[in-house]
Amino acid sequence: MADFDVDLFVIGGGSGGVRAARIAAGYGARVMVAEEYRMGGTCVIRGCVPKKLFVLGSHVRHEIEDAAGFGWTIPNATFDWPTLIANKDKEIARLEAAYTANVEKAGARIVKTRAVFEDAHALRLATGEKITAKHVLIATGGAPNHGRMIEGIEHVISSNEAFHLPELPRRIVIQGGGYIALEFACIFAGFGSDVTVIYRGDNILRGFDDDVRAHVRSEMEKEGITILTACTVEKVERFGKEYVTHLSNGSSLASEKVMFAIGRHPNVANLGLEQAGVAINPSNGGIAVNEYSQTNVPHIYAIGDVTHRLNLTPVAIREGHAFADTVFGKRDVTVDHADIPTAVFSQPEVGTVGLTETQARAQFSRVDIYKTTFRPLKATLSGRDTRVLMKLVVDGTSDRVVGCHIVGDYAAETIQAVAIAVKMKATKADFDATLALHPTAAEELVTMRTPTARHVRQAAE
């Protein structure tokens, strides 16, 4: 047997790579992790964590406005963007240090440099050092993708730069209709920016339940966010400190910043994948893997966003753990990618798990829909014009709840618990048998008794 420098070489120090390294080291493997930027990856450094901190900060304006209805008189409040950025940076630095410490405590070695394949078992570090590895795990994640090149693309920022702006833009144009675009639209609007969202499709949040898409758009527009659909950005011009964004519908917009959040692509470039013989999935541009996250080269694996399967941090972590269990724990573990809960931290928040109504109707012959919208209790005194949406999608034959969709405060917190029931294949009768917790918004999930719609697909003759 060939003698290797390490048993496992992990390329990428994000959430998935770190989990895999720690678990593999716990099994006694000699592990090295290469990270060329900062430990923690997209989620910790420039994704979920700083984004959620921004979201929480942007909620404060609403809280101040709502306080009057509850008897509070609050003097005029002021907001300082640089203070938020500085405090966010401190927290991210703390988390980065924790990630680094946890990997090293597990017994793995970290090298802060880029690693590139020279062949299937050898990696060359940017320092010049060559490392041979028995197994390699690619966990390099993804990066913002600006799409087609347009005139003035050099003036456009991504979510990466949005976390480090020196000042809050008074006006910003955001192209995109998914998680990142809408979350940042609401963040900037919450802090007081004038926000316009540009999306090429007929409505935002493509892939989500249609009722969710319509509800979120309506609520965002109530808060003064302009949403323009069925058009794209064609050109961006700079005039001093301002930009003019020209749209495909012939109109133009002036703003201080232009941001694109139209998708992300897997970080597969310049890794030497060709030298290692690793194949790319032609359908999504990510590294092609099987159910064990194994590439076409048996000892090379890939997890997380670089595979472009489900680009969610908990998925990458679970895939990394399963990989380590399988390869170094000597037990076959795969990841079930069905019924994974997800959230959009827009304002209002979205929490969803399972099938949309459209997906369920395509899959099942009988589908029952339970849906309600209502004014949340807080709004009765605050006076805010907002409504909550709750929706259950039920297989009408088995009575199993196959989808749940929530739009409103704490939707993400609620859907995490509901996801357990959906994963356990709970029925609508199980939901009905569960006593309501009053007064909460979530009690609606167990008190909706009458279907709002019933769909029956006729068998082909």
Backbone phi, then psi, for 50, in 5-degree steps? -60, -35
* Residue at token pair 């719609």: 453
Question: Which residues form the catalytic set?
Answer: 438
Give the predicted TM-score (pTM) of the model. Answer: 0.94
Which amino acid does the sequence have at 442? Answer: A
Residues 151/22, Cβ–Cβ less than 8 Å: no
Name residues whose C-beta falls within 8 Å of residue 373's C-beta, 6 or more positions apart in sequence: 215, 387, 388, 389, 390
The SS3 call for residue 309 is coil
Give the pLDDT of residue 148. Answer: 84
Dist CA 283 CA 297 (whole Å): 19
Give the pLDDT of residue 2. Answer: 63
Give the pLDDT of residue 310. Answer: 92
Give the pLDDT of residue 22. Answer: 97
* Chain CA centroid to CA 345, Å: 9
The angle, 0 to 180 degrees and rounded to 10, between the axes of the packed helices 48-67 and 81-105 is: 140
Q: How far is CA 15 from CA 33, 55, 143, 268, in A?
A: 12, 21, 15, 17
Q: Which two tokens stand for residue 18?
A: 């770190």
Dist CA 307 CA 39 (whole Å): 20
Number of Cβ within 10 Å of residue 135's Cβ equals 22
Q: Which two tokens stand for residue 147?
A: 């799409």
Q: How far is CA 401 from CA 45, 73, 216, 343, in A?
A: 36, 45, 23, 19
Q: How far is CA 99 from CA 14, 89, 104, 411, in A?
A: 9, 15, 9, 28
Backbone phi, then psi, for 181, in 5-degree steps? -60, -45
With a cut of 70, which residues of the chain have pLDDT below it? Answer: 1-2, 459-461
Q: Write down how long the chain is.
A: 461
In the β-sheet with 453-456, what is the strand arrangement from edge to edge? 342-344, 350-354, 401-407, 388-395, 366-374, 453-456
Kindly list the structural domains of the chain, giving each domain's residue range(s) and its CATH number in brackets, ordered by start: 6-144+265-327 (3.50.50.60), 153-262 (3.50.50.60), 342-450 (3.30.390.30)
Nearest to 136 by CA among 282, 245, 287, 15: 287
Dist CA 5 CA 36 (whole Å): 20
Backbone phi, then psi, for 240, in 5-degree steps? 65, -120
Q: How far is CA 32 from CA 110, 189, 196, 271, in A?
A: 6, 43, 45, 17
Buried b or exposed e, range 336-363, using 16+ CB within 10 angstroms? eeebbbbbbbbbbbbbbbbbbbebbbee
Give the pLDDT of residue 1. Answer: 40
